Structure 1
């Protein structure tokens, strides 16, 4: 499949008053990188479809699952048959995201259409990130890729890809408005979860004026931002503290790099699912003496899922892309099937040398 050629034209404004940049000019989601040719094709396909199959990346975060469910809810309200999934072998919504509305749209990969007429993917930069559903995407008639990762490989037949967007949720909101849909509290809750997840609660450099303006539109629906924040960041089982302690016991600081790892056995001792250790990187990366933070997490199949963070001086997206992954400059990752030592050696070899 080849990606759609983007004409670079500016996107249409969302329904209602358009967002405004600080200089007073229109600043709309999806404007920067997605041309009208791509948007027109997507809208035509969705309107003609009886069923739309939605998918997001494996081990979904708030942006992936939230964007997918928001669009799914709107499509269902338009009378479309909607099926949504993600391609994990163990199909389970991460505990932190179980508050999101619309989860009755979800089906396990085994029940997903084998050859979808129209498939829309969310927050997946590569075909491999779809996991088990990569096979379904390969057999789909049309695959719309909605993503904001600079490392996106351009898979699919139509690309709605904007590396300048703060989150895939920004593009999901644009799709909803272009389809003539609106925001209710359930849809806004899903989109808000995506926006705050990928902006780090509006702390990351991806936080723009338009990101705050989008947040204002979502909050205006009546959603409870305090409850969403508590679900996403202020809850964890007791076992997480024990596993975090084990990871911090192993932490190593070396020449601007801090790293540690979490094994399957660490988690098994407390019955802790893999998804529960995602936040360890956010503890480790705070270290003043380190520019780069790395956490290796052994998944249930024995592979190492590697999370990396940078404070801005090092492009972790480029490094992770060289190792088969991708992401953003300051937050990226990849999968390693080598040992912890070999994986770290591979990362060190790609880090810039200090003068």
Structure 2
């Protein structure tokens, strides 16, 4: 029998969270209001940001499991068209609870948003969420603007999954292998498999709780990092062939034409930035990825000295000090010129 996390000696004694908007500890009154809203709702609509990563989708599905066990009607989605779970995340359990954007409530009673800092990051479901009676925002991005009607926002949390775990505990949920798999995917994704500076003792303690349910960390790692279609290698080769090193900045781009030549979906491009950022001579790495609509999705990484979140926020995006992004509708040259100006490199 799966142990009830409420009775486990290794669960956190109390939640130590800091509100990224207000700058102080998340008030117990906010947690209590979130619990009240959830318990009063007959149906709870869950949403995460477009092109979801492991933290966004994993956190959302983990909480969905608990809400379903409470007898709630649960609908979960993200605002992409076409609607498809990224291949790397198709191992996550609970995807039967996902619905395409067209089946998401037009004006929900209660929405819980995961890992999104703005309505705009919710894509097609931004307007639906804005029409909801109540919107609980569960997020860890410092750039979160405080949208919604209630924020459970911790800028010091390494992943939204850490807040999702706290919410699950407070709802009296049970930590089983399926829930742990979803949360673990979020935790390892946003900590770079525990390599990023955000990895704290609390991160490892949470990982221990999740692994104790019996999940296979080797299988999760293989799905997230050690698999790719052959077409990815061809597109990666094209991106690396045009890579540029300019002072402390290394950057490249991937076009729709690159992907079309090998039939590679946009969602498969996520890992390119992690290869480019390895460059010893560069402090900042940038990869521009042209999406199916022709916009450039700009991914940036820093090794610590440069605050890429500030630069991306100035250009309409956001993220974390060492990992951030934004959308550009300009040309590659114009996009990079604007980013370099924000870095003081122009």
SS at 1:223 equivalent: coil
Q: CA deviation at 1:353?
A: 5.3
Distance 1:75 1:245, change over 3 A: same
Q: Does 1:323 align with 2:310?
A: no
1:139 pairs with one of 125, 131, 135: 131
Does the 8 A contact of 2:250 with 2:284 survive in 1? Answer: yes
Partner of 1:30: 17
Determine the C-alpha separation between the residues in 2 that align with 1:152 and 1:14.
30
SS at 2:288 equivalent: strand
Distance 1:37 1:59, change over 3 A: same
Q: CA deviation at 1:33?
A: 3.4
2:290 pairs with one of 298, 306, 319: 298
Q: Does 1:156 align with 2:143?
A: no
Determine the C-alpha separation between the residues in 2 that align with 1:244 and 1:54.
34
Partner of 1:254: 246
Distance 1:343 1:61, change over 3 A: same
Does the 8 A contact of 2:11 with 2:209 survive in 1? Answer: no
Q: Does 1:119 align with 2:104?
A: no
Partner of 2:90: 98
Determine the C-alpha separation between the residues in 2 that align with 1:84 and 1:244.
32
2:53 pairs with one of 48, 55, 61: 61
Structure 2 length normalisation: TM-score?
0.95
SS at 2:306 equivalent: coil
Q: CA deviation at 1:143?
A: 0.3
Does the 8 A contact of 2:16 with 2:25 survive in 1? Answer: no
Matches within 5 A, 1:71-82: 71-82=63-74
Determine the C-alpha separation between the residues in 1 that align with 2:6 and 2:332.
47
Q: CA deviation at 1:14?
A: 6.5
Q: CA deviation at 1:352?
A: 3.8
Does the 8 A contact of 1:50 with 1:81 survive in 2? Answer: yes
For residues 228-258 of structure 1, give each alpha carbon's deviation from its aligned partner in whole angstroms, at most 9, with x where no partner exists. 0000000000000000000000000011000
SS at 1:269 equivalent: helix
Does the 8 A contact of 1:30 with 1:174 survive in 2? Answer: no
Distance 1:15 1:134, change over 3 A: farther
Partner of 2:33: 41
RMSD, aligned α-carbons: 1.5
Structure 1 length normalisation: TM-score?
0.93
SS at 1:146 equivalent: strand
Ranges of 4+ aligned residues in structure 1 off by more than 2 Å: 13-20, 26-33
Partner of 2:271: 279
SS at 1:41 equivalent: helix
Does the 8 A contact of 2:6 with 2:172 survive in 1? Answer: no
Distance 1:224 1:76, change over 3 A: same
Does the 8 A contact of 1:310 with 1:329 survive in 2? Answer: yes
Q: CA deviation at 1:221?
A: 0.2
Q: Does 1:207 align with 2:199?
A: yes
SS at 1:55 equivalent: strand
Structure 1, unaligned runs of 5 or more: 1-12, 21-25
The size of the alignment, in residue pairs, is: 337
SS at 1:186 equivalent: helix
SS at 1:33 equivalent: coil
